[in-house]
Amino acid sequence: MSQGGRAPARARLLFASAWRRPAQLLSSAPGRVNLIGEHLDYNGGPVLPIAIDRRTAVAAAPARALRVVSEGRERVTVDPDAELRGHWSDYVVGAWRALARRGAAPAGARLAIASDVPAGAGLASSAALTVAVAHALARLAGRTLDAETLVDVAWEAEHDEVGVRCGRMDQTAAAHAVAGSALLYDPPSGERTLVPFDAPLWVIDTGVRHRLLAGHLNERRAECETALLQLRRRWPRLAQLGALGTRRLAEAERLLPAWLAPRVRHVVRETGRVHAMREALGRGDLGAAGALLFAGHRSLRDDFQSSCAAADQVVELAERHGALGARLTGAGWGGAVLVLPGPGEAGRLSGLGPALRAALGRAPAVWRVRPAGGVRAERIA
């Protein structure tokens, strides 16, 4: 964590120093780890994210134009009507535009942003940002949006405005999470169920940052859509790949070209792992939960091909040092690995630090994750 305390306190200080006046209000939203259910949200399958106790905070006050500053970056004045330019402030503009479409954007605003969610680490920093910005801007406009609308606004900002063809898992976690629980979310029905989660969980940041994530993610999504269109020749009413089911998998694999079949295999089996994880957690069976994490990682590595060498190494080392389970979390092509150490295993896992240093050539950031709550107004004083 950087100097100056946690993100909300730093956002408030940054506001005062950048804009030479106090902020009027403060909002924050969390990052997340996804326990299991990767690349399922945009394929109509269930996901099981956990919001983490690392947040992005936005301090705000009304202004005539839209002016933004973020920790470690320059101050910018953005024109919400101008074309987006591949700049970090695009996410802010995207959120403003999505609010404006609902008559819920202020005329202008000064914002200061601070975050404890590392960017590009697979921890949904962009959803934490867009949800927190949307919450703050709507409040400035005198509107209190419900969590569902915040999800829609944040998703439109990223999907429609910035152009990352993401699903709605990250925004849903950032808006709806409840402390102490994972959030089982089923995108086709919109159903959300809290799953109590109190096992220790660690995050190991590989330090590898996905560049051009939109490129990778959009490509995988297009591949899944191609597979769906091909499978609809056989099953015309198949709504999404997540609805295929294990019974039809073998036939589906035969119908698809060899390069495409593994993507569908991942979606079908990962869907099964989400349900199995929910049952394992319900029984308190951390051994079974851990095995599902390892299986999920192998599926990302071999079938969905969204892992990276450093994440594969971290998972392998965690397994060798006695973790119950580990897998790459989030979109992939870099990012963070989550590790389930299991009771009493923390001692043995302490050998993991030196092993990671030797393998990666540097000490990765490791921290314990505690399931946190979603977006909220922070006290300004």
Considering the complex, what minimum distance in angstroms separates the CB of residue 7 from ligand GLA? 20
Which positions touch ligand GLA (CB under 6 A)? 34, 38-39, 41-42, 124, 166-167, 169-170, 330-331
Angle at 348 between CA 346 and CA 351, to 5 degrees: 110
Instruction: Note whether 272 and 294 are within 8 A (CB).
Output: no
Min separation Cβ 167 and ligand GLA, Å: 4
Look-up of token digits 């074309």: 83
CA–CA gap between residue 35 and residue 139 (Å, rounded) = 32
Yes or no: say if 203 and 33 are a contact pair by the CB < 8 Å rule. yes
User: Which H/E stretch holds residue 52?
Assistant: strand 49-62
Which of 166, 340 has the CB closer to ligand GLA? 166
Q: Which is nearer to ligand GLA, 25 or 276 (CB)?
A: 276
Burial bucket for residue 202 (CB in 10 Å: 0-12, 13-18, 19+):
buried
- Closer residue to ligand GLA (CB): 290 or 335: 335
Asked whether the beta carbons of 40 and 77 are under 8 A apart, the reply is no
CB of 321 to ligand GLA, least distance (A): 26
- Residue with Cβ nearer ligand GLA (23 or 328): 328
- The Cα–Cα gap between 223 and 303 comes to 13
**Residues annotated catalytic, as ranges:** 170
d(CA 343, CA 185): 27
Minimum separation from the CB atom of position 64 to ligand GLA (A): 33
Q: Specify the residue, 135 or 327, whose C-beta has the smaller distance to ligand GLA.
A: 327
d(CA 242, CA 255): 17
Task: Write down the least CB distance from residue 344 to ligand GLA, Å.
Answer: 31
Considering beta carbons, is residue 158 or 345 the nearer one to ligand GLA?
Answer: 158
In the chain the first and final C-alpha atoms are separated, in Å, by 21
Residues 6+ apart with CB under 8 A from 215: none
Minimum Å distance from CB 207 to ligand GLA? 18
Task: List Cβ neighbours of 178 (8 Å cut-off, separation of 6 or more).
Answer: 194, 373, 374
Secondary element (H or E) of residue 369:
strand 365-369
When CB distances to ligand GLA are compared, the closest residue is 166
